[in-house]
Structure 1
Amino acid sequence: MEHALNDWSLEVSQMELEDNGTLTVTFEDNSLDSQQKYTNPLSLHFDSDRLQEFITTTNVYRSLESEFKSVMELSGELVTIVNKEGTVERVSSNCKKIMGLAVDEFVGRSIYDMERLGVITLSSSKKVLETLKEVQMTQRTRGDRRLFVRGIPLFNESGSLEKVINFSRDITEESNLQERLREREFEINVLLQEVQRSHSGKNLLVSKAAEIEKVTHLLNKVAQTDATVLFLGETGVGKSAFAKHLHELSPRRAAPFIQLNCAVLPDQLVESELFGYAKGSFTGANQQGKKGLIEAAAGGTLFLDEIGELNLQTQTKLLQVLQEKTFTPIGKTEPVKVDVRFVAATNRDLEEMVETGAFRRDLYYRINVVPVLIPSLRERTEDIPMLIHHFTDKFNGEYKRTCSFSRDAIDRLINYRWPGNVRELENMIEQLVITAPAEVIKVSDLPQKVQRCKEQINLFKGSFKEQMQTHEREILQDALKEAKNLNEIAEKLKIDVSTISRKLKKHGLKLQ
């Protein structure tokens, strides 16, 4: 049956594109005469480029493309779509602002090339293509922006990876703020330590022990000079309190006393804290620059606690300050002259570190002008009752209590070995004042490790000779825990190595 063309009502019912570029289209004739309906297949051949052009000019495609672009721009994040070969297919328009590249400079590029050229440090797309899993990471761009990136794999119906979509959030300013916050927290901590030392340092130096009297006598002599003092001793013996005491005895007492614990800061921060830096010296730096602790301590004392933790690079720069009394802040070229007294402390064996190359020999000689060994608390047990009363009064005031210790409880505390020294004693007294059920702290309130001290003492029964043998064995056991070799034990106990060897054999003991 024939129809005029304008009488036909044709609808496309099916389209199928062959590999050779042939497009088969099936039309359905819905003419005005509803009794006559039929379908005719029509095969058309398109050049692939022409076909792509045809598809992209359709209204449906243009509408979808517009919606897709809007979605990519709405989040405010950098959105990147990469194909399975690792080539960037799409990127949001904020590419220039975040990556430093225009959209047309980014699209069509290989992620492997961009990583190799330093456009980005680590490619999230590369990681997704390798693992076939979602990844989250931090990237740094060539423009020194920091990005938090989430890479998501997209799979087709057969389960094969088709594309990778990345959402990148610029966290540069957030990171800078966090860095400045860490700096302020550190400065506040320094000030708090200063306040705490000014209130408690003198009390810790009150002592009945002859060893402490020797230390304070030496400090009285050294304080009037600018000689560098190196405090040695176990962790918790109060080296910082003695350093503060030295400062207060010196002609520099009216100037600042600044302390830096070299063990609490990462290597990259220690140097900037010590020497300071110029404006814009590095990413995350304070926009106005920063004065270092050496300069802040001008006219006063800089106390470097745990100096054995400094890395070799910082040791080299510190040596220059000690030798020439000048230093150069990070990002500056002109040296700064300073008048500072240096005091250091460590619980490490610096001589051994020198031999292994972990500490500069010339710096060791520079800081070890006047070595001062602070005895451990177990070497001055006569001071323990006085310190118990001091710390009890301190924490009674802080926590609004009126606690005291029974005589038996004090005896147990005296007999305890105190591996953490004065710091451990202070922390334990604070805990007991807070938690004690009654105003009088008894033996039963003490930690189990302290309560057991009485049981150990009760082992000393029998003849004088038997008790001495038991005591000798315990001394050797303690020495073995603390020393690394027989020479060190002999030096501490002031007896010959041969005697140590014989006694260890007699008691069936040996170095671990």
Structure 2
Amino acid sequence: MEGIPIPALILDDNNIVLHYNKSFNKILKSNNLHGLNILNVFSTWTPSTESKIIYAEYRDKNYIFLEGFLSNPKHRLLIGQDTEELSMLRKENKELKNLNRELDAIIENSYDGIYITDKNGKTLKTNSAIERITSIPKEYYIGKNVNDLIGRGILKNSVTNKVLELKRTVSVVQKNYAGNETILTGSPVINEQGEVEKVITNIRDLSDLNELQAELVKVNKLNDKYKKELNRLRNKPDKLMGIITKSEQMKIIYDTALRIANIDTTVLILGETGVGKDVLANYIFTNSSRSQGGEFVKVNCGAIPPELLESELFGYESGAFTGANNKGKPGMFEMADKGILFLDEIGELSLQLQVKLLRVLQEGELQRVGGTKPKKIDVRVIAATNRNLKNMVENGEFREDLYYRLNVIPIKIPPLRERRDDILPMVQLFLDQVNEKYKINKNFNYDLKNFFLYYYWPGNIRELSNLIERLAVTTYEEFITMEDLPIEYRQSNDVTINSIVPLKEAVEVAEKKVLTLAAEKYDNTYEIAKALETSQPTIVRKLKKYKIFL
């Protein structure tokens, strides 16, 4: 009796109360019902003529009882419910059904594919959109495990398994069964115990987004022309152009550059050839107050013959040397007065010029070649090099006092291979620029974008930009594929080392290549660990480090 959660009592054949539970006792608020005639307890007690139902009233409240049979034919079991509560339960049940219908309608009419599995990867529900995206009827998926679908080739990888493993939202981009690029975002449904109960995956066909993007570019084309014309009129054609800061490293670098833009001291930009040292220097100038009153003057110290570099930097007076202009000529320092002088490849300066440069930095004045009077100048110097100046100092090739004078605010730009989040945005930027420059409409396929993402790029951004322009102007088809790559790149097989690099970097390149191949061949981290003869936690950590997804 006490196990029944609603009011219940037992009567004999004379309607005398034999037993009742606590729920029934709450109705009458009495502990002395045994032996009472039930007809005397309720103000009304009306049995229905159609069925075993009894309607009763007690203190202005209505109840309904359902009569059941016991093993003893002389006893009757009555189970009751407050009609008002019963009405509320029916209403809540109706609302719940309506809510379920609404949710079903939302899922079914979603333009994106929706795929729901339980904690074991078994498919519970999906919608009709998945048929459009995968060309497979939605009924095919119901009841099937995602691992079985992978085994049959229906799915390449399972975002569901990643969500179950990591217990968080996971997004991956992959080709579907129909060969289209799709983005899959799986989100866990967590129960009160903190366990994943279900996984809801949203599937979007990226080909639709690419078409929308093309339309957006077309609509905004006129607006872009206006912006470029404004930049030209301001005489700053490179202002904020070609800057990509998707990676955390570059965000930090450009945030630092912005903060020190108006701190009037020397900056030393370090990094390999082609990483964009001049772009960063121009960014500092653009965001400084010096851009309002001076110019950004760039000098490549390694491109000018040493015998001419002194006069180019510091200028010369009339008659200073044979062939000199009769009126003399101002040097780059004077041209950059009130602005910024960018000394690229500073490591190529001769020791003699290093002495003269140090004097300018310390005293804020220069003396032209052949001149006798010093001239005050107001120039901020930004220097850059791909060489190790500290080693040059130790070898006597670079003055120590000049090194410390330049190295007040050092900023090191990492090579492109260490900030791969920037690569695909750069690819799109350079491709857009080339398409506009040559009035063409080229694009890259999925595999070629993947090559761009994982190639070693010894020439960094400059190499990437040159390769994109080369592909765009030498390929006949609008859609460029891996087969269009120059032979030296195709032979590299995605990753190559064709220059001397630190041993640690070489090891990481090889390690990433092996892990990428293993991830394509095996279904999970345990199989990869077994094949590579290492532990599963190590594989998980390495895959996360190199952003390789199963």
TM-score scaled by length of structure 1: 0.52
Q: Is the 8 A contact 1:275 1:295 kept in 2?
A: yes
| Cα offsets for 1:183-216 (capped at 9, x unmatched) | xxxxxxxxxxx99x94446233222100001101
Please list the CA deviations of residues 41-87 of structure 1 after superposition, one character each: whole Å capped at 9, or x if unmatched. Answer: xxxxxxxxxxxxxxxxxxxxxxxxxxxxxxxxxxxxxxxxxxxxxxx
Rounded Cα–Cα distance in structure 2 between residues aligned with 1:295 and 1:320: 15
Contact 2:271/2:277 (8 A) holds in 1: yes
Maintained 8 Å contact 1:378/1:417: yes
Q: Give the Cα–Cα distance (whole angstroms) in 2 for the partners of residues 396 and 467 of structure 1.
A: 45
Cα contact 2:434–2:472 (8 A) shared by 1: yes
2:528 is aligned to: 464
- Unmatched 5+ residue regions in structure 1? 1-193, 471-492, 494-512
Give 1:361 deviation, angstroms. Answer: 0.2
* Secondary structure of 1:371's aligned partner: strand
Q: Name the structure 2 match of 1:343.
A: 382
After superposition, the C-alpha distances for 1:113-159 in whole angstroms (9 at most, x for unaligned) are xxxxxxxxxxxxxxxxxxxxxxxxxxxxxxxxxxxxxxxxxxxxxxx
Partner of 2:271: 233
Q: Which residue of 1 aligns with 2:262?
A: 224
Spell out the pairing of 1:419-498 with structure 2 (5 A cutoff): 419-451=458-490, 452-454=492-494, 459-460=517-518, 463-465=527-529
- For residue 211 of structure 1, the aligned residue among 230, 243, 249 is 249
Where 1:395 maps in the other structure, the secondary structure is helix
Q: Do 2:239 and 2:286's aligned partners in 1 also have CA atoms closer than 8 Å?
A: no
Q: Which residue of 2 aligns with 1:283?
A: 322
Residues 116-155 of structure 1 aligned to structure 2 (within 5 Å): none
The 5-angstrom pairing of residues 264-279 of structure 1 reads 264-279=303-318
**CA–CA distance in structure 2, aligned partners of residues 436 and 355 of structure 1:** 49
Deviation at 1:437, TM superposition (A): 1.4
* CA distance, structure 2, for counterparts of residue 447 and residue 425 of structure 1: 13
Aligned runs of 1:44-59 on 2, under 5 Å? none
Q: In structure 2, do the counterparts of structure 1 residues 289 and 415 end up closer, same or farther at CA, with 3 Å as the change threshold?
A: same
Q: Which amino acid aligns with 1:210?
A: E
Which residue identity does 1:223 align to in structure 2?
A
State the distance in 2 between where 1:446 and 1:302 align.
39
1:407 equivalent in alignment to 2:407:
no
CA distance in 2, matches of 1:249, 1:390: 22
> Matched residues in 2 for 1:231 and 1:307: separation?
10
Q: Distance in 2 between matches of 1:215 and 1:306?
A: 20
1:297/1:411 Cα in 2 relative to 1: closer, same or farther (>3 Å)? same
Secondary structure of the 1:284 match is coil
Identity of aligned pairs, percent?
44
Task: Report the RMSD for the aligned CA atoms in angstroms.
Answer: 2.3
How many corresponding residue pairs?
A: 277
Alignment of 1:378-417 (within 5 A): 378-417=417-456
**CA distance in structure 1 between the partners assigned to 2:487 and 2:241 by the alignment:** 28
> Which consecutive unaligned segments of at least 5 residues does structure 2 have?
1-231, 496-512, 535-544, 546-550
Once the 2 structures are TM-superposed, how far is the Cα of residue 449 of structure 1 from its aligned partner?
3.9
* Cα pair 1:278 1:330 within 8 Å, conserved: yes
Q: Does 1:247 align with 2:311?
A: no
Q: CA deviation at 1:400?
A: 1.5
- Decide whether the 8 Å contact of 1:203 with 1:390 is kept in 2: no
CA distance in 1, matches of 2:349, 2:448: 41
Q: Deviations over 1:345-403 (max 9, x none)?
A: 00000000000000000000000000001011111111111111111111111112111
Within-5 A mapping of 1:296-315: 296-315=335-354
Report the CA distance shift for 1:467/1:358 in structure 2 as closer, same or farther (over 3 A): farther
TM-superposition CA deviations, 1:455-494 (whole Å, max 9, x none): 9667435642367679xxxxxxxxxxxxxxxxxxxxxx9x
* TM-score, normalised with respect to structure 2: 0.48
Mapping for residues 47-196 of structure 1, pairs under 5 Å: none
2:164 is matched with none
